[in-house]
Structure 1
């Protein structure tokens, strides 16, 4: 599910990178315009540095599409009941990416159940006590078939239970399965991802070749999502600051050795970077081409691994690659 979420999100990123201007787009002759690689100063190679801890380098030029966590809600189910959206907003207000990473670590590394982790989090945030407004009304919170979605669903159900609703959770597979159930009212709420869902609805409404409307601009992407959702009977609570999007990580030892915290700093400091990621990375604008075109990063070698999975993380910590594609909310980013 995580892989399909990411690839769906990123398929629409060609517009974002193309917006930076292709050679010749300013009226010059592309055949005589030097490429970034031809004009860049050759930097000394920065070899991979092994280490136990990973850190994401900030995407300071907006290569990736936003993918903030957002509660997607059946519009008919909340018609005349503003309390549900308000309770979901209260959960979103507490969730930033470090908090999401900690929740994922508790489930994926510490092996606690999503239910237990969500209950503890709601208590810690003071969300387990609410005004009793639900009057026992049944609410079904759906989840995708991966742990992060299950934990988010438990958070939503828990805050609704605390407010007097009769909330239950149901894991119902991938987006192609749970979204129709949400639209029909079989599900009331599903935790979603702003950019991914925007493009999923966009392609569904306007065809597989539709121009992308999701971008690195959260407000603009949410505006597009709101309109697309309205057309299929969905409304959305406030997005959380937390994101689960593609990101590029190095070991903390590498970051400390070279003094880098952002992708721009990496590109300005290091040449000959050994990059690891999914097999499609050298052809996808969100991956190697985007790093080279948007950031001017000098990639010396690409190692075919996986999309943010154990192969990439192991290659990073073991010092086989310097930079790897990961998910920004991965439990491995929690550190010690």
Structure 2
């Protein structure tokens, strides 16, 4: 799994990780396959449909692991301060994938700072604490990985905690291999995390690189496994949010309308003769990419086009591919 994450375009930081583990590093290609692939096996070949707006098709059979955002907290700090985690849970309750997309758009595309986007989110969602004295005299350090989404989430946590009277500092600490030991030791108090990625990171730490996976497409089961592993790693967790940043597959809204598809299962039915898939070079060999589409959904990939990760969305928009691998929280998905 990835050591942190990121494959968003300006924020391609902190390890890229589910996509790294799932679909490999971004391919070095830039070429595209002929989008008018002939149907080799009968059925309807759904050729690309150009359009400005991308939409993510619902992963209705749970191909991808549940990388829901969840606050990870030093266990000793949480035990010593019972007010801490409930404040973070308020953020989780307010956050979903659409709102995360908008936050990423604000920072990565509209060029707000993470602090500005966080403060606006806290105001819009009325997340300020009711009791401005609960954290008086208490200090917390929030560790952010070195990509913009993590920085923005960290600033949201900080703004909520400051509204409760805490002295809250955000420190950018780097990738998971760097910040997790700091979190476990108490050098930092808490950090935004990703349920499936962290669960597998802790799983391989505890049980070796060949450990049976514990993460799945089920957020509840994944968080249960994460909680168990965290207890042995001096970590505790707040409530899991509905917001997910994980591998996803997108088509243009024009394609979705033309073929009446909103899920990957719909795509398999409507385009039973094949689609042109855009992804990083390793996608055809990865279980969360082309192999997963074929084996989990029965989708026929009539042609594959290799692109650097940051160019995949543009390839789909321009009509060079029917469907492409993206991240579910990418700011460019904002409507």
The normalised TM-score by structure 2 is 0.89
Alignment match, 1:302: 304
Which secondary structure state, in structure 1, belongs to the residue aligned with residue 104 of structure 2? helix
Query: Structure 1: how far apart are the matches of 2:246 and 2:19?
Result: 10
The within-5 A match list for 1:151-300 is 151-270=152-271, 271-300=273-302
Query: Structure 2: how far apart are the matches of 1:129 and 1:74?
Result: 21
Q: What's the CA shift for 1:44?
A: 1.6
Structure 2 unaligned segments of length 5 or more: list them: 8-15, 24-39
> What's the CA shift string for 1:184-203, capped at 9, x where partnerless?
11110110000000000000
Which secondary structure state, in structure 2, belongs to the residue aligned with residue 325 of structure 1? strand
Work out whether residues 69 and 194 of structure 2, in 8 Å CA contact, stay in contact via their aligned partners in 1: yes
Distance 1:195 1:111, change over 3 A: same
- Segment of structure 1 superposing worse, 72-81 or 205-214: 72-81
Q: Which has the higher helix share?
A: 1
Alignment match, 1:55: 55
Which secondary structure state, in structure 1, belongs to the residue aligned with residue 94 of structure 2? coil
> What's the CA shift string for 1:241-290, capped at 9, x where partnerless?
00001000000010011110000000001122000111111011101111
Alignment match, 2:137: 136
Query: Structure 1: how far apart are the matches of 2:232 and 2:6?
Result: 26
CA RMSD for the aligned pairs? 1.4
Matched, 1:149 2:161: no
Work out whether residues 55 and 250 of structure 1, in 8 Å CA contact, stay in contact via their aligned partners in 2: yes
Q: What's the CA shift for 1:80?
A: 3.0
Q: What's the CA shift for 1:136?
A: 2.4
Which secondary structure state, in structure 2, belongs to the residue aligned with residue 111 of structure 1? coil
Which secondary structure state, in structure 2, belongs to the residue aligned with residue 211 of structure 1? coil
Query: Structure 2: how far apart are the matches of 1:136 and 1:107?
Result: 32
Which secondary structure state, in structure 1, belongs to the residue aligned with residue 298 of structure 2? coil
Structure 1 unaligned segments of length 5 or more: list them: 12-39
Alignment match, 1:98: 98
The normalised TM-score by structure 1 is 0.88
Matched, 1:10 2:48: no
The within-5 A match list for 1:115-130 is 115-130=115-130
Q: What's the CA shift for 1:134?
A: 0.5
Q: What's the CA shift for 1:41?
A: 7.4
Which secondary structure state, in structure 2, belongs to the residue aligned with residue 167 of structure 1? strand
Q: What's the CA shift for 1:125?
A: 1.2
Q: What's the CA shift for 1:160?
A: 0.4
Distance 1:129 1:222, change over 3 A: closer
> What's the CA shift string for 1:15-74, capped at 9, x where partnerless?
xxxxxxxxxxxxxxxxxxxxxxxxx97322111011100000000011000000000000
Work out whether residues 87 and 129 of structure 2, in 8 Å CA contact, stay in contact via their aligned partners in 1: no
Alignment match, 1:72: 72
